[in-house]
């Protein structure tokens, strides 16, 4: 029996697909890369923007004939889209051949739902409003070696006015520190060499603990001193909660890459306020100064959004000037997408598609130019990279500060090792190099 999982969305979902895989393997299924070979196809969906929803509809829809011709195949859909009851109803109506629907809060019950379906052959649709208790961590099947994603918290309390995440992921719940440390220790002992701690706003880790000294900074310190050479990354830091103590810890430990993803969204105070981000452009720039002070060789990345309701040309130009002033090492750029049920959806002054499209093109062109200039600065230098992926005749990995590097080699044993690579050419987002030696 084979399973095939299609994942949309962020690292949180990527990791949850590993938890889905874990449950399916426990039931005796093995992974297949070919949909046509699968006995169960799972779609782990995202609803952050409308285009993520369209993609899922398109890809699930393609399986209609396959499902009709293969009565035994199970089609299951879960994730952030189905956690929204309205979207789940819509999906049932439009794609009635779906057999199982589950949400983010009952993800760890998925294995049981599959068993139920196999016993009854009746559709199993179940989406919980919230978890009955803290999410259970279940068997995880990872095939991301040497990288491993580790949840430190779930949910979000911030209610940025454009964002659907708080509605589909619930309130912030932090995992006990001892449990996280145990998981990381085990992963390191197994040979994993890049650990990414996951949370929508990692800086508020531990805020929900009663009588506990646990916070994100001491979690990072506890993990950074584990006796292995490895990379301890984290995602995502909300600028309103980024503390100087964290910059100090990042600067202090070799195991923590000098890379910070600090999404600003907009350069205009007017828009930041309407987004409910709770910081100003000036606050953000001060945080960048703090980062510079403690992490001299830092790389900074961001998320930038255009076309939020009422965004004027002036507001947009402030995002452009901010991107120019900061010179992000890289940035994810998004067009605002209306999410039903959020505060911004009901705001006046939605921006027309043509204006949004013009703005995103300008912003992307600017960021591409900056990213390429920064990439060019690497040429001629020798950098340490963690080898993370095999490609035909080449290996790929990242520099400490997150730049992708590809170098030709037939030595696939390098996977999971730290190596030195001399950079010979660059593109906007990546670098090409030559193998120099394995790091000591
Ligand atoms: N918790 C993280 C981000 C999660 S979503 C944080 O706060 O940084 C990732 C990014 O998607 C956001 O930073 C934002 O730029 C973008 N995004 C979220 N909702 C969006 C929407 N409705 N339209 C367009 N982009 C959106
Ligand atoms: Fe969404 Fe804001 Fe929470 Fe990030 S912090 S997940 S953007 S509500
Ligand atoms: Fe992530 Fe998309 Fe959900 S970005 S949290 S999978 S809505």
Residue 244 Cα to ligand 1 middle (Å)? 24
Give residue 423's pLDDT.
98
Q: Which of 277, 213, 215, 223 is nearest to 243 (CA)?
A: 215
CATH code for the domain of 190: 3.80.30.20
Pocket test for ligand 1, best of 158, 261, 263, 266 (most atoms within 8 A of CB): 263
Give residue 440's pLDDT.
82
Pocket test for ligand 3, best of 14, 48, 199 (most atoms within 8 A of CB): 48
Q: What does the pLDDT look like over 292-345, one tens digit per residue? A: 999 999 999 999 999 999 999 999 999 999 999 999 999 999 999 999 999 999
Q: What does the pLDDT look like over 76-106, one tens digit per residue? A: 999 999 999 999 999 999 999 999 999 999 9
Pocket test for ligand 3, best of 10, 43, 171 (most atoms within 8 A of CB): 10
Give residue 157's pLDDT.
95
Residue with CA closest to ligand 1 atom 12: 303
Residue 159 Cα to ligand 2 middle (Å)? 6
Give the mean pLDDT of the chain: 95
Residue 172 Cα to ligand 3 middle (Å)? 15
Q: Is 431 helix (H, G, I), strand (E, B) or coil?
A: strand
Q: Can you tell me which atom of ligand 3 is nearest the CA of 104?
A: 3
Residues facing residue 300 across a β-bridge: 260
pLDDT band at 135; cut points 50, 70, 90: low
| Same domain flag for 221 and 240 | yes
pLDDT (mean) for 30-50: 97
| Same domain flag for 314 and 176 | yes
| Same domain flag for 317 and 423 | no
Q: In terms of residues, how long is the chain?
A: 440
* Residue 132 pLDDT > 80: no
Q: Which domain holds residue 421?
A: 382-438
Angle (deg, nearest 10), helices 110-120 and 11-26: 50
| Same domain flag for 68 and 112 | yes
Residue 198 Cα to ligand 3 middle (Å)? 12
The 3-state secondary structure of 150-208, one letter per residue: EECEECCCCCCCCCCHHHHHCCCEECCHHHHHHHHHHHHHHCCCEEEEECCCHHHCCCC
| Same domain flag for 403 and 315 | no
pLDDT band at 134; cut points 50, 70, 90: low
pLDDT (mean) for 18-27: 96
| Same domain flag for 270 and 301 | yes
The whole-model pTM stands at 0.96
Last residue of a domain, one of 376, 405, 429: 376
Q: What does the pLDDT look like over 163-209, one tens digit per residue? A: 999 999 999 999 999 999 999 999 999 999 999 999 999 999 999 99
Q: Over pLDDT 90: what percentage of the chain? A: 94
Give me the number of domains the chain comprises.
3
Give residue 411's pLDDT.
85
CA distance 104 to 129: 9
Q: Is the dihedral of CA 73, 79, 83, 87 positive or negative?
A: negative
* Residue 287 pLDDT > 70: yes
Give residue 46's pLDDT.
98
Give residue 3's pLDDT.
98
Pocket of ligand 3 (CB under 6 A): 9-10, 12-13, 46-48, 80, 165, 168-169
| Same domain flag for 415 and 335 | no
Give residue 213's pLDDT.
81
């Amino acid at each position: 029996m084979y399973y095939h999982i299609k994942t949309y969305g962020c690292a949180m979902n990527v990791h949850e697909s590993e938890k889905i895989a874990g449950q399916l393997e426990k039931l005796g299924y093995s992974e297949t890369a070919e949909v046509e070979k699968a006995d169960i196809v799972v779609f782990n969906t995202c609803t952050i923007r409308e285009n993520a929803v369209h993609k899922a509809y398109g890809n699930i829809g393609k399986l209609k004939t396959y499902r009709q011709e293969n009565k035994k195949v199970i089609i299951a859909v879960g994730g952030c889209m189905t956690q929204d009851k309205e979207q789940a109803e819509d999906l049932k109506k439009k794609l009635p051949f779906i057999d199982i629907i589950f949400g983010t809060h009952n993800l760890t019950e998925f294995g049981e739902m599959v068993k139920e379906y196999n016993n009854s052959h009746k559709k199993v649709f179940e989406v919980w409003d919230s978890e009955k208790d803290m999410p259970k961590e279940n068997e995880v099947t990872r095939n991301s070696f040497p990288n491993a994603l580790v949840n430190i918290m779930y949910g979000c309390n911030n209610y940025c006015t454009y964002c659907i995440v708080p509605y589909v992921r619930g309130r912030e719940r932090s995992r006990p520190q001892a449990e996280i440390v145990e998981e990381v220790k085990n992963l390191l002992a197994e040979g994993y060499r890049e650990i990414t701690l996951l949370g929508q706003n990692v800086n508020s880790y531990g805020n929900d603990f009663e009588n506990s000294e646990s916070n994100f900074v001491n979690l990072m310190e506890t993990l950074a001193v584990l006796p292995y050479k490895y990379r301890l990354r984290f995602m995502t830091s909300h600028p309103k909660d980024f503390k100087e103590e964290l910059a100090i810890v990042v600067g202090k430990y070799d195991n923590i890459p000098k890379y910070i993803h600090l999404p600003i969204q907009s350069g205009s105070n007017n828009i930041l306020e309407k987004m409910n981000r709770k910081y100003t452009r000036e606050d953000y720039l001060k945080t960048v100064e703090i980062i510079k002070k403690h992490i001299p060789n830092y790389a900074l990345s961001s998320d930038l959004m255009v076309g939020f309701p009422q965004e004027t040309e002036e507001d947009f130009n402030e995002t452009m000037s901010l991107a120019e002033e900061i010179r992000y090492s890289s940035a994810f750029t998004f067009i605002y997408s209306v999410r039903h049920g959020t505060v911004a959806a009901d705001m006046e002054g939605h921006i027309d598609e043509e204006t949004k499209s013009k703005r995103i093109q300008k912003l992307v062109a600017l960021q591409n130019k900056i990213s390429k200039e920064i990439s060019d600065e690497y040429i001629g230098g020798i950098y340490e990279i963690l080898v993370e992926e095999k490609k035909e005749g080449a290996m790929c990995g990242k520099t400490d500060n997150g730049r992708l590097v590809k170098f030709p080699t037939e030595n696939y044993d390098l996977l999971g090792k730290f190596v030195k690579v001399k950079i010979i050419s660059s593109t906007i987002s990546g670098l090409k190099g030559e193998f120099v030696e394995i790091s000591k």
